[in-house]
A = this chain, B = another copy of it.
Protein backbone atom coordinates (compact mmCIF):
# COMPACT_ATOMS: atom_id res chain seq x y z
CA UNK A 1 0.00 0.00 0.00
CA UNK A 2 1.22 3.52 -0.84
CA UNK A 3 2.48 5.25 2.28
CA UNK A 4 4.25 8.51 2.96
CA UNK A 5 8.06 8.23 3.04
CA UNK A 6 10.51 11.13 3.17
CA UNK A 7 13.20 11.45 0.45
CA UNK A 8 15.01 14.14 -1.54
CA UNK A 9 11.75 15.59 -2.84
CA UNK A 10 10.27 15.55 0.64
CA UNK A 11 13.26 17.38 2.07
CA UNK A 12 12.96 20.10 -0.56
CA UNK A 13 9.25 20.26 0.16
CA UNK A 14 9.91 20.77 3.87
CA UNK A 15 12.44 23.52 3.11
CA UNK A 16 10.01 25.11 0.65
CA UNK A 17 7.24 25.18 3.25
CA UNK A 18 9.50 26.96 5.74
CA UNK A 19 10.63 29.50 3.13
CA UNK A 20 7.09 30.07 1.81
CA UNK A 21 5.83 30.60 5.37
CA UNK A 22 8.54 33.08 6.33
CA UNK A 23 9.21 34.93 3.05
CA UNK A 24 6.05 34.23 1.06
CA UNK A 25 5.44 31.99 -1.94
CA UNK A 26 6.13 34.62 -4.61
CA UNK A 27 9.35 35.81 -2.99
CA UNK A 28 10.99 32.36 -2.79
CA UNK A 29 12.98 30.91 -5.71
CA UNK A 30 13.58 27.28 -6.65
CA UNK A 31 17.34 27.84 -6.21
CA UNK A 32 16.79 29.05 -2.63
CA UNK A 33 14.68 26.02 -1.80
CA UNK A 34 17.33 23.65 -3.16
CA UNK A 35 20.16 25.53 -1.43
CA UNK A 36 18.35 25.27 1.92
CA UNK A 37 18.91 21.48 1.87
CA UNK A 38 22.34 21.60 0.18
CA UNK A 39 21.12 20.86 -3.34
CA UNK A 40 21.25 22.70 -6.68
CA UNK A 41 18.48 24.32 -8.69
CA UNK A 42 19.08 21.61 -11.30
CA UNK A 43 18.21 18.93 -8.76
CA UNK A 44 15.07 20.88 -7.87
CA UNK A 45 13.89 20.84 -11.47
CA UNK A 46 14.64 17.14 -11.78
CA UNK A 47 11.94 16.60 -9.14
CA UNK A 48 9.50 19.44 -9.83
CA UNK A 49 8.41 21.08 -13.09
CA UNK A 50 7.88 24.42 -11.33
CA UNK A 51 7.76 26.08 -7.91
CA UNK A 52 4.04 25.45 -7.58
CA UNK A 53 4.58 21.70 -8.01
CA UNK A 54 6.70 21.47 -4.88
CA UNK A 55 3.45 21.76 -2.90
CA UNK A 56 1.68 19.08 -4.91
CA UNK A 57 4.36 16.42 -4.95
CA UNK A 58 2.85 13.26 -3.55
CA UNK A 59 -0.42 13.74 -5.41
CA UNK A 60 0.17 10.47 -7.28
CA UNK A 61 0.73 8.65 -3.99
CA UNK A 62 -2.48 10.10 -2.57
CA UNK A 63 -4.36 9.06 -5.69
CA UNK A 64 -2.90 5.57 -5.32
CA UNK A 65 -4.18 5.41 -1.74
CA UNK A 66 -7.72 6.20 -2.93
CA UNK A 67 -7.56 3.70 -5.79
CA UNK A 68 -6.05 0.98 -3.55
CA UNK A 69 -9.08 1.47 -1.32
CA UNK A 70 -11.46 1.13 -4.26
CA UNK A 71 -9.68 -2.05 -5.38
CA UNK A 72 -9.81 -3.52 -1.87
CA UNK A 73 -13.59 -3.12 -1.51
CA UNK A 74 -15.61 -6.34 -1.92
CA UNK A 75 -16.85 -6.87 -5.48
CA UNK A 76 -20.49 -6.62 -4.38
CA UNK A 77 -20.04 -3.48 -2.25
CA UNK A 78 -22.49 -0.70 -3.19
CA UNK A 79 -20.86 2.50 -4.60
CA UNK A 80 -20.82 4.55 -1.38
CA UNK A 81 -19.34 1.60 0.51
CA UNK A 82 -16.57 1.49 -2.09
CA UNK A 83 -16.03 5.23 -1.57
CA UNK A 84 -15.88 4.63 2.18
CA UNK A 85 -13.07 2.12 1.55
CA UNK A 86 -11.30 4.71 -0.60
CA UNK A 87 -11.57 7.37 2.14
CA UNK A 88 -10.26 4.95 4.80
CA UNK A 89 -7.35 4.11 2.54
CA UNK A 90 -6.60 7.81 1.88
CA UNK A 91 -6.14 8.17 5.63
CA UNK A 92 -2.91 6.14 5.29
CA UNK A 93 -1.47 9.22 3.61
CA UNK A 94 -2.25 11.41 6.63
CA UNK A 95 -0.82 9.84 9.78
CA UNK A 96 -1.08 12.07 12.87
CA UNK A 97 2.63 12.94 12.76
CA UNK A 98 2.04 14.53 9.39
CA UNK A 99 -0.54 17.00 10.69
CA UNK A 100 1.84 19.94 11.47
CA UNK A 101 3.36 19.71 8.00
CA UNK A 102 -0.05 19.51 6.35
CA UNK A 103 -1.13 22.58 8.33
CA UNK A 104 1.90 24.55 7.16
CA UNK A 105 1.30 23.50 3.56
CA UNK A 106 -2.38 24.42 3.66
CA UNK A 107 -1.63 27.89 5.06
CA UNK A 108 0.56 28.54 2.00
CA UNK A 109 -2.00 27.15 -0.45
CA UNK A 110 -4.87 29.11 1.10
CA UNK A 111 -2.94 32.38 0.78
CA UNK A 112 -2.30 32.15 -2.99
CA UNK A 113 -5.25 32.02 -5.44
CA UNK A 114 -3.24 30.15 -8.11
CA UNK A 115 -2.40 27.47 -5.55
CA UNK A 116 -6.03 27.16 -4.48
CA UNK A 117 -6.97 26.64 -8.14
CA UNK A 118 -4.30 23.96 -8.46
CA UNK A 119 -5.67 22.28 -5.32
CA UNK A 120 -9.22 22.27 -6.69
CA UNK A 121 -7.88 20.80 -9.91
CA UNK A 122 -6.08 18.08 -7.93
CA UNK A 123 -9.26 17.06 -6.11
CA UNK A 124 -11.23 17.10 -9.37
CA UNK A 125 -8.63 14.81 -10.96
CA UNK A 126 -8.87 12.34 -8.07
CA UNK A 127 -12.69 12.40 -8.25
CA UNK A 128 -12.54 11.61 -11.97
CA UNK A 129 -10.16 8.69 -11.35
CA UNK A 130 -12.44 7.26 -8.64
CA UNK A 131 -15.48 7.64 -10.91
CA UNK A 132 -13.61 5.78 -13.67
CA UNK A 133 -12.68 3.01 -11.21
CA UNK A 134 -16.33 2.74 -10.12
CA UNK A 135 -17.46 2.49 -13.75
CA UNK A 136 -14.83 -0.22 -14.16
CA UNK A 137 -16.62 -2.10 -11.37
CA UNK A 138 -19.90 -1.84 -13.27
CA UNK A 139 -21.40 1.21 -11.51
CA UNK A 140 -23.49 3.16 -14.04
CA UNK A 141 -23.71 6.94 -14.44
CA UNK A 142 -24.66 9.20 -12.79
CA UNK A 143 -24.07 7.00 -9.71
CA UNK A 144 -20.33 6.62 -10.36
CA UNK A 145 -19.63 10.35 -10.66
CA UNK A 146 -22.04 11.21 -7.82
CA UNK A 147 -20.41 8.74 -5.44
CA UNK A 148 -16.89 9.82 -6.41
CA UNK A 149 -17.63 13.54 -6.13
CA UNK A 150 -19.43 13.03 -2.82
CA UNK A 151 -16.41 11.14 -1.57
CA UNK A 152 -14.13 14.03 -2.48
CA UNK A 153 -16.51 16.50 -0.82
CA UNK A 154 -16.27 14.42 2.35
CA UNK A 155 -12.50 14.25 1.92
CA UNK A 156 -12.08 18.01 1.51
CA UNK A 157 -14.29 18.86 4.49
CA UNK A 158 -12.66 16.19 6.65
CA UNK A 159 -9.20 17.39 5.67
CA UNK A 160 -9.96 21.00 6.62
CA UNK A 161 -11.39 19.83 9.94
CA UNK A 162 -8.41 17.53 10.61
CA UNK A 163 -6.11 20.56 10.26
CA UNK A 164 -7.97 22.58 12.93
CA UNK A 165 -5.69 23.47 15.83
CA UNK A 166 -8.04 21.85 18.37
CA UNK A 167 -8.80 18.69 16.36
CA UNK A 168 -7.47 15.56 18.07
CA UNK A 169 -9.16 12.78 16.09
CA UNK A 170 -7.24 10.90 13.40
CA UNK A 171 -7.96 11.66 9.76
CA UNK A 172 -9.78 8.32 9.44
CA UNK A 173 -12.03 9.20 12.38
CA UNK A 174 -12.84 12.65 11.03
CA UNK A 175 -13.56 11.25 7.55
CA UNK A 176 -15.90 8.62 9.04
CA UNK A 177 -17.68 11.34 11.00
CA UNK A 178 -18.17 13.57 7.94
CA UNK A 179 -19.37 10.63 5.82
CA UNK A 180 -21.90 9.74 8.52
CA UNK A 181 -23.04 13.39 8.51
CA UNK A 182 -23.61 13.20 4.75
CA UNK A 183 -25.62 10.00 5.09
CA UNK A 184 -27.70 11.59 7.86
CA UNK A 185 -28.24 14.77 5.83
CA UNK A 186 -29.51 13.02 2.73
CA UNK A 187 -31.65 10.62 4.77
CA UNK A 188 -33.16 13.67 6.48
CA UNK A 189 -34.35 15.28 3.29
B142 with A78: CB separation less than 8 A:
no
How many copies of this chain?
2
| Interface assignment of A1: CB less than 8 Å from any CB of chain B | no
A178 in contact with B84 given A121-B117, A187-B186 (CB within 8 Å): no
B183 with A186: CB separation less than 8 A:
yes
A185 with B120: CB separation less than 8 A:
no
B189 with A84: CB separation less than 8 A:
yes
A182 in contact with B146 given A117-B117, A121-B120 (CB within 8 Å): yes
| Interface assignment of A153: CB less than 8 Å from any CB of chain B | yes
Q: What does DSSP make chain A's interface, helix, strand, loop or mixed?
A: helix
Q: A162-189 vs B: 1/0 string, CB under 8 Å?
A: 0000000000000000100111011111
In the complex, residue of chain B having the shortest beta-carbon distance to the beta carbon of A174: B142
CB contact list, A146-162 vs B, under 8 A: 146-147, 149-150, 153-154, 156-157, 161
A146 in contact with B142 given A183-B186, A186-B186 (CB within 8 Å): no
